[in-house]
Amino acid sequence: MDVEILGYGIYIPQYRIKVAEIASIWGKDVTAIERSLGVKEKSVAAQDEDTVTMSFEAAFLALQRACLPPSAVDICFVGSESHPYAVNPTSTIVAEFLGVGRNYLSVDLEFACKAATAGVIAAAGLISSRKAQTAIVIGADTAQAKPHDILEYTSASAACALVLGRDQNESLANLVEFTSYSSDTPDFWRRDGVRFPSHGGRFTGEPAYFTHVEAAAKTLLGKTKMRPSEFDYCVFHMPNGKFPREVAQRLGFHEVQLAPSLTVETIGNPYSASSLLGLSAVLDIARPGQLIFMVSYGSGAGSDGFIFKTSKHIGKRRKLVPTFSDCVKDKRYISYIQQLKYRGRI
């Protein structure tokens, strides 16, 4: 497929809160929660940060890494479930800040945590059919959770942007193949006007996450006639640290293939940015000619599966902008009360 990743950029808020801090407020066993979720801390957006500002930061860095001017962008997609406006697109605000111009296709996407990967597929189709030259696809969320809910320990904030195009001479990775698997499985939802989402507890695992991720993965492997052992890395959506490990094992992937993508361990689950952040962390260390297997997941429910192959240029522009490792080290811990204040709850 003649669709390439030309650049990628991420943004992680500086603020972090430890799982231990949240657990102590509710009198919970810290060790048990950390072991169960596989998360020790998460990123928290500041008072002046939202999906728009984080999307802009990630997109700006992605274009820098791609060595492209904003005017080269034909498509701007933003996938999120925390768009700041119900009516007024995030994507046009981001494109305006970037200086894209006026002749571009813009749309906001929603499909829980796979909104951005759906955008990657849509953009890839337009690029492959020669209807567009360059697209920027962003996944960003300031994930919400009801106080004292299990999601409060993992729901995080971050953004990741991919620049897609057809320039093989400047490619960082090639999109080899993709697939999707969807169903009406309401494991997680939030009605209009309701502040916090609801979820089906244990129902979110087996009939939701595992069914869809496994089905998409097996469809993609069957479509390409490839085996898990042929891949250098794998990336799966990370609602916590436990689910991606289990699904990787079920599919026949090994810990060494998965470990570099587990961004959830250090920043939590930033919903639409989750799988793309895992991909970015892998691209930060991948060598030329390596294969990456990725499957996203979005409640409601669906999964998108992708295979990427890194190009000979993968290391060429890696240090032009901060890597995941750089960003995750730049942090400042806050208290539970500060978190409530920053997210407008008090």
Residues 6+ apart with CB under 8 A from 125: none
pTM of the complete model beyond 0.85: yes
Angle (CA) 53-57-62 rounded to 5° is 145
Quick one: CA dihedral 9, 12, 14, 18, positive or negative? negative
Query: What's the pLDDT score for residue 189?
Result: 64
Nearest Cα to 106, choosing from 125, 88, 84? 88
Q: State the burial class of residue 182 (Cβ atoms within 10 Å of its Cβ: 0-12, 13-18, 19+).
A: middle
Whether 138 contacts 271, CB under 8 Å: no
Q: Could you identify the residue written with the tokens 């969320």? A: 141
Check if 4-171+316-342 and 173-310 are the same fold: yes
Q: What share of the chain is helix, strand, coil (3-state, %, to 5)?
A: 40, 25, 35
Residue 100 to residue 32: CA distance in whole angstroms: 48
Range 57-82 average pLDDT: 97
CATH annotation of 4-171+316-342: 3.40.47.10
Query: What's the pLDDT score for residue 59?
Result: 98
Question: CATH number for the 173-310 domain, one of 3.30.420.40, 3.40.47.10, 3.80.30.20, 3.30.565.10?
Answer: 3.40.47.10
Q: What is the pLDDT of residues 15-53, one digit of tens each?
A: 999 999 999 999 999 999 999 999 999 999 999 999 999
Query: What's the pLDDT score for residue 132?
Result: 97
76, 113, 234, 327: the catalytic one is 113
Any catalytic annotation for residue 81? Answer: yes
Residue 1 has pLDDT above 90, yes or no: no
Query: What's the pLDDT score for residue 72?
Result: 97
Whether 74 contacts 105, CB under 8 Å: yes
Residue 41 to residue 39: CA distance in whole angstroms: 6
Any catalytic annotation for residue 177? Answer: no
Whether 230 contacts 116, CB under 8 Å: no
Range 257-282 average pLDDT: 98
Query: What's the pLDDT score for residue 346?
Result: 67
Residue 149 to residue 136: CA distance in whole angstroms: 34
Any catalytic annotation for residue 160? Answer: no
81, 160, 199, 327: the catalytic one is 81
Residue 157 has pLDDT above 70, yes or no: yes
Range 156-183 average pLDDT: 95
Residue ranges per structural domain of the chain: 4-171+316-342, 173-310
Residue 60 has pLDDT above 90, yes or no: yes
Whether 157 contacts 272, CB under 8 Å: no
Q: How many helices (H) and strands (E) does the chain have?
A: 12, 14
Q: Could you identify the residue written with the tokens 């009198």? A: 27
122 C-beta neighbours (distance < 10 Å), count: 18
41, 49, 237, 327: the catalytic one is 237
Q: What is the pLDDT of residues 292-324, one digit of tens each?
A: 999 999 999 999 999 999 999 999 888 899 999
Strand partners, 197: none
